[in-house]
Amino acid sequence: MIQINPKNSELKNIIILATGGTIAGTGEEGKTTNYTAGNIDIEVLVSSVRNLDKIANIYGEQIANVDSNDITMNHWLTLANRINELSKQDDVDGFVITHGTDTLEETAYFLDLTVKTDKPVVLTGAMRPSTATSADGPLNLYQSVALAASDLSRGHGAMVVFSDGIYSGRNVQKINTFKTNAFNSIEFGCLGYMRDNIPFFFNKSIKPHTIYSQFDVTGLTELPKVSIAYFHIDADPSIIDYFAQNSEGIVIAGAGSGTFSSNWLEEIRNLETKGIPVVRSSRIGNGIILTDSTIDKYSNCIPSYTLSPPKSRILLTLALTKTKDYSEIKRIFAEY
């Protein structure tokens, strides 16, 4: 852990856990394309943000320095366990995680369900590398630190700050491949806005998170493997059998309200007696998936409600750390 700025006893103590991504990326001076993500370390990253020392005392730790497509469950366990450990210290007030945007929503939801503290946990990143003209990382990082240092921020679970918006870890989604306003929560809206360093909250998720979540990864060194099968016209049903052989659970990125062909259903029903739960999510990314009497008559089929395929995978992974019972997993999906 490195202390980045001189300590001011009037200010809160915020820990930045850096993992890489475009926010720590570099490329040709001024350009926004063809750069390398995860290239500068935490000290350089923080030094690019004006006035950070006026809003908090900053401490930094480099957890990784990778493109977020290379984030693994090991990074998740490291982050969750580190936050859980540090949050027990009275002199730690909040956390900011810098992360690539491609999988930011996944890490945000994992931490939302597994950190055991009410202290603010804020994730952020950038769409433009640090060397770009109008790089968006510095403002996102500044606002994330401000949010983590705010008394208003407790009790919202893990949050994402991006382009002046505050989003819940459960509902946030990346919605654009290159624009700086790259995140929102589709129909659930944002939790609030950042204007400079001041948060304005308007909404709150009622779903269990952090200290209210039943999941605890303390002491775990690995997590159950869950795979995602993407359905489309003529999709090969043998992918289900393939995943069943190397995974403890499967999520379907189904069509419409989590549906698929009769030959996929045939494969899936064969897994009912093999103890492999199959969560039906949707490739649509919006709306709700409820129990479907023609599919969910097979007890291993579980509707995902409003969780996207990658977020359903996270919840199923954590559910499998607790139980293999299909009806209990169904209850977990209904509750979370």
Those residues whose C-beta lies under 8 Å from the C-beta of residue 38, and which sit 6 or more positions away, are 19, 20, 21, 24, 25, 64, 65, 66, 67, 100
CA angle 93, 94, 100 (to 5 degrees): 165
Is 102 annotated to bind a ligand? Reply is yes
For ligand ASP, the nearest residue by Cβ is 100
Shortest distance, CB of residue 159 to ligand ASP, whole angstroms? 18
Cα end-to-end span (Å), the chain: 34
* Closer residue to ligand ASP in complex, CB, 176/273: 176
Residue from 19, 22, 114, 124 carrying the catalytic annotation: 22
Residue from 32, 98, 101, 210 carrying the catalytic annotation: 101
User: Which DSSP state fits 128?
Assistant: S
Is 164 annotated to bind a ligand? Reply is no
* Closer residue to ligand ASP in complex, CB, 129/303: 129
| 22 part of the active site | yes
Residues that bind ligand ASP (CB under 6 A): 21-22, 37, 67-69, 100-102, 125, 127
Helix, strand or coil, per DSSP, at residue 116: coil
Helix, strand or coil, per DSSP, at residue 186: helix
Shortest distance, CB of residue 128 to ligand ASP, whole angstroms? 8
* Closer residue to ligand ASP in complex, CB, 44/290: 44
Residue 270 has a CB neighbour count (10 Å cut-off) of 15
Q: Using CA atoms of 71, 73, 76, 80 in order, give the dihedral in degrees to the nearest 10.
A: -170
Shortest distance, CB of residue 49 to ligand ASP, whole angstroms? 17
Shortest distance, CB of residue 127 to ligand ASP, whole angstroms? 5
What is the rounded distance in angstroms from the CA atom of residue 322 to the CA atom of residue 216?
9
* Closer residue to ligand ASP in complex, CB, 39/171: 39
Q: What's the chain's length in residues?
A: 336
| 117 part of the active site | no
Q: Of 99, 125, 80, 82, which Cα lies nearest the Cα of 20? A: 99
Is 163 annotated to bind a ligand? Reply is no
* Closer residue to ligand ASP in complex, CB, 35/201: 35
Dihedrals phi, psi of 213, to nearest 5 degrees: -85, 150
Shortest distance, CB of residue 122 to ligand ASP, whole angstroms? 16
The binding site for substrate consists of 68, 101-102
The binding site consists of 68, 101-102
The catalytic residues are 22, 101
